[in-house]
Structure 1
Amino acid sequence: MSQTVDRALSILPLLAQGPADLGQVADRLGVHKSTALRLLRTLHEHGLVYRQQDQRYRLGARLFALAQEAVENLDIREIAHPHLAALNERIGHTVHLAVHEEGEVLYIDKVESRYPVRMYSRIGKPVAITVAAVAKLLLADLPEPERRALAGKLDYPPYTPRSTPNAAAFLKELATVREQGWATDLGGHEESINCVGAPIRGADGRVVAAMSVSAPNVVVTAEELLSLLPQVRRTADAISREYSGTAPTTSKDSE
């Protein structure tokens, strides 16, 4: 990267901390004020910085518009699918991707298992919101008032003896999921099916989607499926990094 471009880009994280005057920008970059002014003028011409009436500079509206446009044009399914397929290739079980839209949690991608037994789930179909691991992950990220309001409106069908029985139990489960960063459905929807999932996060840390691995207990036990949690979390972290455009980080929980 050329020195001029490098210096210009270095101004943006500086101004993200708050408005700064010409002298502060020059000092931070270690350049003469005339050089800093030339860089600021160029960024100003492109709408990336804005000069206030007090002669200090702040980030410009164009920068926020570009960021919003980029986020809106990201396709989480397109980004996630190669990672989901790779995980499926390694472990052989069914892998799902889901999002929360208009009060429902919907499957938007699915990679089938390699064994003959097939899952009932279909792309575009709502999940059993009170028991599904992906639903717990997505709803656990909601602000507390929204979680409580939603929990109070839901029905709690007794799919199996392990299904979530009521709003109080559901809120307790969501609190646990929120704290630990992963979720399970161990026979809550179908007694013979177990599931473990992890969240996919955007650049702001909010959960934008959730992925899960499901398998019938005739193929693997619940304990065996839970042993795959580190791989599930690593996959979710990799998708999160690609989606948000952030560099890899080391997580003890994902190792």
Structure 2
Amino acid sequence: MAATEAPGGVAAVDRALAILAAVEARNEPSTLAEIAQVTGFYKSTILRLLGSLEGSGYVMRLRDGRYGLGASAFRLGLAYERQNPLRWHVLPVLNDLVENGTESSSFHVLHGPGTRMCLFRVNSRHSTLDRVEAGSILPLDRGAAGRVLLAYSGDAGSTHASLREAGYALSRGERDPLCAALAAPVFGPSGAITGALSLSGPSERFTPSNVEHMRTLLIAAAAQLTQSLGGASRKAG
């Protein structure tokens, strides 16, 4: 699928970022052909922009000709860790949920027009888990966390009124047919949604009694996290 340019952006910058995102998305280094397939760009365009990305250290060319992330990407990640206070607030909440016997806890944020990112994740104590990791890019229109982010986005309209009224979402088999999830919104000081707090795992463990128990813990945790971030819960409407 061809990458798209951001409205009002600089075309060369948008293309370079799309190439960087294509390299980042894979679990192993990428060939030129693989980058071209993901971005939809001509190989000549990719090679020209890869030269700039290599020069700035964000991409490195390996001996076998494939491309991987460079040291500047690592430094950028470390800088993000230093400057992002969310970790200090979110991780204790995720750990507390799991310690209270919930399924795996995660915090998701908007990533793109149709995607979300799992920013933080704490696995449950169960032996079987759903396949979500910190850094995973997931669809925005499937799964409880995605639906929560959509419900409180600026252009949600009345489509998600019932979810906003309930204050949480429950999904079964939307993203993975064997998994289920609960999610609730977390708000920041401006009143805009900061992220979605979620609990996810195999559907078989989402029995009515477990769902009710986890829902109570989740909504309380989301309210606690909203308060610690200086936000206020939004009323349905």
- For residue 166 of structure 2, the aligned residue among 164, 177, 180 is 180
Q: Does 1:114 align with 2:125?
A: yes
Q: Which has the higher helix share?
A: 1
- Residues 109 and 116 in structure 2, CA contact (< 8 A), matched pair in contact too: yes
Q: How does 1:19-58 map to 2 (within 5 A)?
A: none
The Cα shift of 1:184 comes to 1.5
Structure 1: runs of 5 or more not aligned:
1-72, 149-170, 250-255
Q: How does 1:3-82 map to 2 (within 5 A)?
A: 75-82=85-92
- Residues 195 and 225 in structure 1, CA contact (< 8 A), matched pair in contact too: no
- Which residue is 1:88 aligned to? 98
Q: Which has the larger radius of gyration?
A: 1
In structure 2, the CA distance between the partners of 1:229 and 1:176, relative to structure 1 (3 Å rule), is same
Q: Aligned letter for 1:130?
A: D
Q: Does 1:193 align with 2:179?
A: yes
Q: Aligned letter for 1:96?
A: S
- For residue 130 of structure 1, the aligned residue among 125, 128, 141 is 141
Q: Counterparts of 2:187 and 2:202 in 1: how far apart (Å)?
A: 28
TM-score, normalising length: structure 2: 0.57
Q: Does 1:217 align with 2:203?
A: yes
In structure 2, the CA distance between the partners of 1:139 and 1:218, relative to structure 1 (3 Å rule), is closer
TM-score, normalising length: structure 1: 0.53
After superposition, give the CA deviation of every residue in 1:203-231 in whole Å (9 maximum; x if it has no partner).
Answer: 22221111111121333425522432111
Q: State how many pairs are aligned.
A: 150
Q: Aligned letter for 2:192?
A: R
Structure 2: runs of 5 or more not aligned:
1-82
Q: Counterparts of 1:106 and 1:83 in 2: how far apart (Å)?
A: 18
Q: Counterparts of 2:104 and 2:231 in 1: how far apart (Å)?
A: 27
After superposition, give the CA deviation of every residue in 1:132-169 in whole Å (9 maximum; x if it has no partner).
Answer: 1111111111223xx47xxxxxxxxxxxxxxxxxxxxx
